[in-house]
Amino acid sequence: MTLSYEELANALEEGWSVIGLHEHDVAEQVNPTTLERSFRAELFPEHGDPLTEHNTPPWVEVSFVWGPSHQIHTGTMVTIPLELTWEYTITVPPADKRNDSELIRTLQSAIQSALRKVFHEEVGHDVLALEVRRAYKAPEARELRCLEIHARGSSDISDVLGGHGHDHVQTVIQEEYAMVNVLLQTFTDTFSPGSVGGYRSVESA
């Protein structure tokens, strides 16, 4: 099997519906200078409409970059880096009085809780880079619309280039989405208790 960009992108698209995620937006670009192709998708759990800053559930973007070397070396024993990048966004209303440090500590605790559910033990290192961003109602105004907590990480899926077949690619993608599922559920329990705004958790979707 020679894996292609399209097959990997399709495997990602097929995989997210299995755990109750749906496509929100997909962006694909080609860099003619480097012949690299990039894939980015915004993924939301099932939710009630419309979404506002008051009822937006935690969500995730998945992205990867596919270059000529990936296509050349698929189906061979040569291993080159191929990473899926995950960026989680958690919206916090401006009425939340926690400072940045408290929000980061809360998110770190939620991440560790999710990892314990997956690995059944403590994970002694940081797996996601965290930051707090502020969104204002207008560029010239200082009135806060919301806070956004971002958690960014990546997973190496280079072994899918080894020509193991479509089933192997699907298995790898499903394992990654299983981790995404647990993280999103934990973030929801931590930051949006009670299913705010008609949001239905991934588990019940």
pLDDT tens for 21-35 read 877 789 999 999 999
Q: In the structure encoding, which two tokens stand for residue 91, read together? A: 């919206």
Whether residue 205 is contained in a domain is answered as no
| Local confidence band at 202 (pLDDT 50, 70, 90 cut-offs) | very low
Whether residue 70 is contained in a domain is answered as yes
Output Rg (C-alpha) for the chain, integer angstroms.
Answer: 18
Where does residue 197 rank: exposed (0-12), middle (13-18), buried (19+ CB within 10 A)? middle
Q: Residue written as tokens 């408290």?
A: 102
**According to the model, what pLDDT value does residue 1 have?**
60
**According to the model, what pLDDT value does residue 72 have?**
84
**According to the model, what pLDDT value does residue 120 have?**
81
How far is it, in rounded angstroms, from Cα 202 to Cα 108? Answer: 21
Whether residue 155 is contained in a domain is answered as yes
| Local confidence band at 149 (pLDDT 50, 70, 90 cut-offs) | very high
- Whether the link from the prior residue into 50 is cis, omega within 30° of 0, is yes
Residue 129, domain extent: 5-198
Domains of the chain: total = 1
Smallest CA-to-CA distance from 63 within 79, 83, 44 is with 83
Whether residue 203 is contained in a domain is answered as no
Whether residue 204 is contained in a domain is answered as no
Q: Which DSSP string do the residues of the chain spell out, in sequence order?
A: ----HHHHHHHHHHHHGGGTEEEEEEEEEEETTTTEEEEEEEEEES--SS--TTTPPPEEEEEEEE-HHHHHHTTSS-----EEEEEEEEEE-TT----HHHHHHHHHHHHHHHHHHHHSS---S--SEEEEEEEESSTT---EEEEEEEEEEEEE-GGGGG---HHHHHHHHHHHHHHHHHHHHHHHHHHSTTTGGG---TTT-
How far is it, in rounded angstroms, from Cα 21 to Cα 204? Answer: 11
Whether residue 47 is contained in a domain is answered as yes
| Region 72-100 average pLDDT | 84
